Amino acid sequence: MTKNVIKDVVIVGGGTAGWISAAVIQRLLGATVSVNLIESEDIGTVGVGEATIPPITLLNNMLGIDEKAFIRETNATMKLAIRFENWRVNGEQYYHTFGAPGKSFAFCQFHHYFKRAQQLGLEDSLWDYDLNYLACEAGKFAHIASPDPIIEMPYAYHFDASLYARFLRKKCEQMGVTRTEGIITSVQQNADSGYIDSVTLKDGKKISGDLFVDCSGFRGLLIQQTLNTGYEDWSHWLPCDRAVAMPSERHEKTSPFTRSIAHTAGWQWRIPLQHRNGNGLVYSSHHYTDDQALDILSSNLETAPIGDPKYIHFRTGRRRKQWHKNVIAVGLSGGFLEPLESTSIHLIQSAVVRLVHLFPHDGIKQKQIEEYNKQSQMEFEQIRDFIILHYHVNERNDSQFWKDVRNMEVPESLMHKIELFTASGNLFRAQNDLFLESSWLQVLMGQGVKAGDYHPLANGMSEKKLFELMASIKKIKNEPVGKLASHDDFLREYCRLQRP
Ligand SMILES: Cc1cc2nc3c(=O)[nH]c(=O)nc-3n(C[C@H](O)[C@H](O)[C@H](O)COP(=O)(O)OP(=O)(O)OC[C@H]3O[C@@H](n4cnc5c(N)ncnc54)[C@H](O)[C@@H]3O)c2cc1C
């Protein structure tokens, strides 16, 4: 144990990571610690990060955020899925929805029954049994509260990243977080322990703390530039290393899903917001120059651009230790995985919740650090595998990029999962994996990977009964869709928005 009671928490950075960290720590630990956030408007934030996944609703609830105010103030829309276009082959698309196709049975997953039914002549697609998909295709949304999980419709949001940071800042300041504006120019460490004692701003002001949360973005001001913690590079598996982002005018109708459109050496996101579309191209700088990337993005916008392009460089991987000495790296300072599955904001949420669980109230203990780092590593690696899957199991032959990612060696953990599925149809969620079996199933099948077999338990009913079961699940999934409002009507009525 090396530091005494933790009273003063200093958060370095006021992007999404900084403000989420401040809000969670203040809300849950504010009775015993003070929270001081330092940010610099001159440096600014990364300014992207607009699509989320369902656990964000838990974060908002925990912070006591009113959903209607949140949607209004961040220009948010609802998100039920990501539509992947051109990923397996050009011209084809599939959805990864937040729902679950079919119904979960106690001992035998739905996809085994589905596979047997297919072998017996069923012509439906997996997604015909998924309420989220059906609502996406119909452009509809509603909150569906049902005690029966078969008709749940899990959702997340798209929002304007800078409005979200502003929204959280207001919330944090109401809760008692102190904000300090200024550029940190030097960092003071304890001569014996190497722990950070304080940071000094350009105007000479010194801010001391017991625990520092490094939310300074890619630069990793404390975790890397000061403590030199090191970085595990995953770019041999995920070769995209740049993005160009450019907003465009909104579509007349907003869709309740993100689009991810594969190109010859990367992919494009399209995120519908109330006031504009968020767009960007994630690409490999070994295959496209920046100008080529901008050309591809510009010619695939669909609506008129309304801002200048912004280029972002990144290196996929993770900080070797997310927690080192008295510094915890949260957000981009802790590592980066491209936004293909919108996981970065979730990683922030999960990192700060983990910190709360392991909070060193009466002094930092090495075992807490080890546990924190072990859990972080597992989480990063599981998401990494899921993202690699999208690239690796492609059937595109139109560029060297797609051939290379198809032929590359992938992590053993991912290989095992793919081989198990192709051998037997078995699919298991690894311990604490963010992505459930239904997510893996949709991406595997969407990318054209076929289950090798189905479980014999699916033979436990006659053919007639099996087809009756499929028909009844399909009916249950389809029934709510007709009653849902259009996505735009939902936003207008639920949040009393003025827009058409
Ligand atoms: C192209 C791209 C697309 C993305 N899309 C998504 C998405 O759809 N969904 C998703 O979940 N995530 C997405 N992300 C990730 C998401 O943008 C980040 O996780 C999120 O914005 C958090 O960033 P941050 O707060 O860690 O860093 P930043 O936003 O960079 O904030 C860093 C902060 O540190 C401050 N700072 C730095 N140095 C100093 C200093 N010396 N003194 C004082 N202050 C300092 C800055 O002023 C700023 O306030 C995307 C990322 C990229 C690159």
Give the model's pLDDT for residue 500.
47
Q: Categorize the per-residue pLDDT at 19 as very low, low, confident or very high, splitting at 50, 70 and 90.
A: very high
Q: What's the rounded Cα separation, in Å, for the pair 72 and 168?
A: 14
Q: What percent of the chain has pLDDT over 70?
A: 99
Host domain of residue 252: 242-313
Rounded average pLDDT over 383-390: 98
Give the C-alpha separation, 84 to 453, whole Å. Answer: 25
pLDDT in tens, 148-180: 888 899 999 999 999 999 999 999 999 999 999
Chosen domain end from 251, 282, 313: 313
Are the beta carbons of 284 and 239 closer than 8 angstroms? Answer: yes
Residue 202 has pLDDT above 90, yes or no: yes
Q: How far apart are the CA of 301 and the centre of ligand 1, in A? A: 24
Residue 290 is assigned to a structural domain of this protein: yes
Q: Are residues 322 and 341 in the same domain?
A: yes
Specify whether 262 is located in the same domain as 354. no
Q: What pTM, to 2 d.p., does this model score?
A: 0.97
Is 449 part of a structural domain of the chain? no
Statement: residue 185 has pLDDT above 80? yes
Beta strands 81-85 and 196-201, pairing class: unpaired
The pLDDT assigned to 498 comes to 61
- C-alpha 333/C-alpha 319 separation (Å) is 8
- Closest to 163 measured CA to CA, from 51, 50, 316: 50
Residues 360 and 226 in one domain: yes
Helical residues (DSSP H) of 30-156, grouped into ranges: 55-62, 67-74, 110-119, 131-138
Same domain for 194 and 299, yes or no, is no
List the one residue out of 306, 248, 333, 255 whose CA is nearest residue 93: 255
Write the CATH number for 187: 3.50.50.60
Query: Of residues 7, 79, 474, 477, which has the active-site annotation?
Result: 79
Tell me: pLDDT of 481 over 90.
yes
Residue 102, domain member (yes or no)? no
**By mean pLDDT, which of 207-211, 437-441, 496-500 is the weakest?**
496-500
Point out the least confidently predicted range of 149-158, 257-266, 413-422. 149-158
pLDDT band at 496 (very low <50, low <70, confident <90, very high): confident
Query: Would residue 227 count as lying in a domain?
Result: yes
For ligand 1, pick from 19, 216, 316, 380 the residue to mutate: most ligand atoms within 8 Å of CB: 216
What percentage of the chain exceeds 90 in pLDDT?
Answer: 94
Q: Looking at the 3D structure of the chain, how many domains does it have?
A: 2
- Once rounded to an integer, what is the mean pLDDT over residues 31-37? 97
Determine the longest span between alpha carbons in the chain, in angstroms: 79
Band of residue 49 on the pLDDT scale cut at 50, 70, 90: confident
Type of residue found at 125: S
3-class secondary-structure state, position 483: helix
Q: Are strands 34-39 and 8-12 parallel, antiparallel or unpaired?
A: parallel
In the sheet that holds 196-201, the strands lie side by side as 184-189, 196-201, 206-208
Please state, in angstroms and rounded to a whole number, the distance separating the CA atoms of residues 50 and 394: 26
Domain match, 209 and 324 both: yes
Burial class (CB in 10 A: 0-12, 13-18, 19+), 262: buried
Mean pLDDT (the chain) is 96
Domain boundary residue, one of 364, 397, 429: 364
**Strand spans (E) along 137-190:** 140-141, 156-158, 178-181, 184-189
Look up residue 117 and give its amino acid: A
465 is catalytic: no
More confident residue, 432 or 87: 87
**341 inside domain:** yes
Smallest CA separation from ligand 1 atom 5, residue: 49
Q: What is the identity of the amino acid at 253?
A: K
Residue 142 falls inside a structural domain: no
Pocket of ligand 1 (CB under 6 A): 13-18, 38-40, 43-46, 48-52, 161, 183-184, 215-217, 219, 221, 243, 245, 280, 312, 314, 331-333, 339, 342, 344-345
Residues 303 and 177 in one domain: no
* Count of all residues that appear for the chain in the document: 500
- Ligand 1 probe mutation, 10, 11, 45, 350, most atoms within 8 A of CB: 45
Instruction: Look at residue 80 and tell me if it is in a domain.
Output: no
Same domain, 172 and 307: no
Q: How far apart are CA 402 and CA 265, in angstroms?
A: 7
Here the CATH number for the domain that contains residue 298 is 3.30.70
Give the model confidence (pLDDT) of 56-111 as tens digits: 999 999 999 999 999 999 999 999 999 999 999 999 999 999 999 999 787 899 99
Q: Is 452 inside any structural domain? A: no
Give per-residue pLDDT as tens, 219-240. 999 999 999 999 999 999 999 9
Specify the DSSP element, H or E, that contains 242. strand 242-245
State residue 254's pLDDT score.
96
Q: Are residues 215 and 323 in the same domain?
A: yes
Q: Do 304 and 165 share a structural domain?
A: no
pLDDT over threshold 70, residue 499: no
Supply the pLDDT for residue 149: 81
Residues 328, 208, single domain; the answer is yes
| pLDDT value of residue 176 | 97
Q: Are residues 229 and 253 in the same domain?
A: no
What is residue 105's predicted lDDT score, i.e. its pLDDT? 84
With 70 as the cut, is the pLDDT of residue 188 above it? Answer: yes
Same domain flag for 221 and 337: yes
